[in-house]
Amino acid sequence: MKNAVLNRLPGDNPWQLRYYEEIDSTNTKAKELAREGAPHGTVVLARRQSAGRGRLGRQFQSPGGMGVYLSVILRYPVAATQVMHLTCAVGVAMADAVERLCEVRPGLKWINDLVCGGKKLGGILTELSVSPQTGLLEYAVVGVGINCLQKKEDFSPELQDMAVSLTTVCSKPVAPDAMAAEMILALQRMDGRLFSEQTTLMEQYRKDCITLGKQVRLVQGDTEHTGIARDVDIAGGLVVDFSDGTRKTVNSGEVSVRGLYGYTDL
C-alpha cells in the first residue's frame, strides 16, 4: 500500500509517510512519534487498526485493506485556542478529497463525521497536546478514517444501517491507496490555508454541515437537551437554540449530537 500511495504523490512531496500493515491506532502511534519529536507533516498510515478510536471513546472499525486509516502530526506555533477550527478545516478537506476522487461530495455531521445518504462514511479524531504553562499547542494529531471497499455485510450488524463505504456510494470500487493519496494532498492544501483562510474554510464548512437547521439532541454525560442547530461559529462551536428559549454555543469536546431519532435522521 505504501508504494501505491507514494506513487500517486508528487516527487517533491514534503510530508514523510510511515506505513504499518497493522497497528492499534494510527492516532496513538502519531502521538508517540510526536512526543519523540517527529516533524510537522509526519503521516502515519495503516492497512488495519486493531483498536481504531473515535470521539468520546467510541470504536472505529478498521478492517484490513477496506478503508483508509491515517493520522498526521501538525505543529503550529500558536495558542491551542487558535486551532479550534482544525477539525472543521479537515472535514472540508476530506469532503474535497472524496469529491475529487468519486464525484460525490459527502456532508459533514457536526463536528467530525463524513456522511453520505444519511450514513457514516468516515470520521475525524483530533487530539491536541497543549503546554499547561503557556497554553501553546505542542502538536496536533488529526486522524481520519474513511470506509472504502466495504459492502453492507462487511460492517458489524449494529453498524450495517448506519455506515456506508465509497464503493457503495459511487457504485464502483474505490481503492484505499488512491483515496489515501487524495487525502494527503487535501490535508496539505488545508495546511496552507488553515489560518490565512479561516473565514473561507468555515463558510465552506457551514455549506457542507448537514446538522444546521436540524433538530438535535445534545447528550452530555447523563443529561440530554434538545434544540435546533442554527450556526457554526468561526471556531467550530455549534450554536443551538434550545427548547427552553436559550441560545448556547457548544464545543465538540463536550457533547454528542444526535438527530431526534438516532444517527440516520440527520
Letter string b/e over residues 6-40, b meaning 16 or more CB atoms within 10 A of that residue's CB = bebbeeebebebbbbeebebbbbbbbebbeeebeb
Residue 93 lies near ligand BTN (rule: CB under 6 A): no
Among 125, 169, 212, 218, binds ligand BTN (CB under 6 A): 125
Instruction: Please identify, using beta-carbon distances, which residue of 63 and 242 lies nearer to ligand BTN.
Output: 63
Residue 52 lies near ligand BTN (rule: CB under 6 A): yes
Rounded Cα distance, 247 and 158, in Å: 34
Instruction: Please identify, using beta-carbon distances, which residue of 55 and 241 lies nearer to ligand BTN.
Output: 55
Residue 54 lies near ligand BTN (rule: CB under 6 A): yes
Residues 62-81 that bind ligand BTN (CB under 6 A): 69-71
Mask for 158-197, x = binds ligand BTN (CB under 6 A): ----------------------------------------
Stretch touching ligand BTN by CB under 6 A, among 82-90, 119-127, 152-160, 235-243: 119-127
**Beta pairing partners, 171:** none
Residue 124 lies near ligand BTN (rule: CB under 6 A): yes
Rounded Cα distance, 100 and 103, in Å: 6
DSSP conformation letters of 57-102 = G-B----TTTEEEEEEEE--SSBGGGGTTHHHHHHHHHHHHHHHHH
Residue 236 lies near ligand BTN (rule: CB under 6 A): no
**Cell numbers placing 105:** 461530495
Among 58, 100, 152, 230, binds ligand BTN (CB under 6 A): 58
Q: Which residues bind ligand BTN (CB under 6 A)?
A: 25-27, 49, 52-55, 58, 60, 69-71, 112, 123-125, 143-145
